């Protein structure tokens, strides 16, 4: 039984074409809802990634609805693993479901690692993406961050050298966004993971205006 003040995690089915992806959602009453895009399938990532779990816990604990999902061909999601266009279609389907379930016209998107490619494409295509958070982004050019047109947060571990820090910082600044560097942490945040959740929850609070 869920007590007052607790948040409820529930399994969710995400239809995409004739197939169905598995997802996990948290209820919440605050806006914007948060969509978490996992690492790309070719990175071996899924919605149960420890960073994804930390993000949705932090967001839901602050009152924001969330949805994370497995791309087609990952975990119990139907279909075959796709490439860029198919991954974007997966994210589009999850986005539409979250907007419908939350009764919202806008949402925030957070991505992990190479999921940044999908998140950037989603933001460029849909004005409904009202905030973009890239956690330990990989497989993207730093200058792509400068083209983000909504509130942007990039979270990098201090020891994450996959994207040059100076170039990321400059691109984020050009987009009017914020770069959060987590001390003594690498790309998987085996140390100081809770700081990532706190940074994203604080960012959502700013987006909500409270």
Phi–psi pair at 25, nearest 5 degrees: -125, 150
Pairing state between β 34-37 and 66-69: parallel
For residues 88 and 118, the answer to whether their CB atoms sit within 8 Å is yes
Q: What pLDDT is attached to residue 45? A: 79
Question: Which tens digit of pLDDT belongs to each residue from 42-89?
Answer: 998 799 999 999 999 999 999 999 999 999 999 999 999 999 999 999
SS3 of 166-184: HHHHHHHHHCCCEEEEECC
- Give all domains of the chain, ordered by start, each with its CATH number: 10-208 (3.40.50.1820)
- Report how far residue 45's alpha carbon sits from residue 112's, in angstroms, rounded to the nearest whole number: 9
Torsion 150-184-190-10 (CA) sign: negative
- Report how far residue 155's alpha carbon sits from residue 200's, in angstroms, rounded to the nearest whole number: 9
Question: Which tens digit of pLDDT belongs to each residue from 81-101?
Answer: 999 999 999 999 999 999 999
The pLDDT of 5-20, averaged and rounded, is 84
Question: Which tens digit of pLDDT belongs to each residue from 160-193?
Answer: 999 999 999 999 999 999 999 999 999 999 999 9
Q: What pLDDT is attached to residue 6? A: 47
* Percentage of residues of the chain with pLDDT beyond 90: 93
**DSSP symbol at 159:** T
Pairing state between β 34-37 and 107-112: parallel
* pLDDT band of 147, cuts 50, 70, 90: very high
The pLDDT of 121-149, averaged and rounded, is 97
According to DSSP H, which parts of 82-192 are helical? 84-102, 115-125, 165-174
């Amino acid at each position: 039984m869920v007590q007052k003040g607790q948040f409820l995690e529930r399994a969710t089915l995400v239809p995409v074409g004739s197939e169905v992806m598995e997802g996990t959602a948290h209820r919440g009453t605050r806006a914007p809802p948060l969509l978490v895009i996992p690492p790309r399938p070719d990175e071996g990532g899924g919605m149960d990634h420890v960073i994804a779990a930390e993000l949705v816990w932090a967001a839901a604990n602050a009152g924001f609805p969330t949805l994370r999902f497995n791309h087609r061909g990952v975990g119990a999601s139907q279909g075959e693993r796709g490439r860029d266009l198919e991954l974007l279609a997966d994210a589009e389907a999850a986005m539409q479901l979250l907007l419908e379930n939350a009764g919202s016209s806008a949402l925030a998107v957070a991505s992990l690692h190479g999921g940044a490619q999908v998140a950037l494409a989603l933001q460029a295509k849909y004005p409904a993406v009202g905030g973009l958070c890239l956690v330990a982004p990989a497989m993207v050019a730093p200058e792509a961050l400068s083209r983000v047109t909504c509130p942007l947060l990039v979270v990098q571990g201090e020891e994450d050298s996959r994207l040059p820090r100076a170039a990321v910082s400059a691109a984020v600044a050009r987009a009017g966004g914020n770069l959060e560097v987590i001390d003594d942490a690498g790309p998987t945040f085996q140390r100081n993971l809770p700081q990532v959740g706190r940074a994203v929850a604080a960012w959502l609070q700013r987006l909500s205006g409270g």
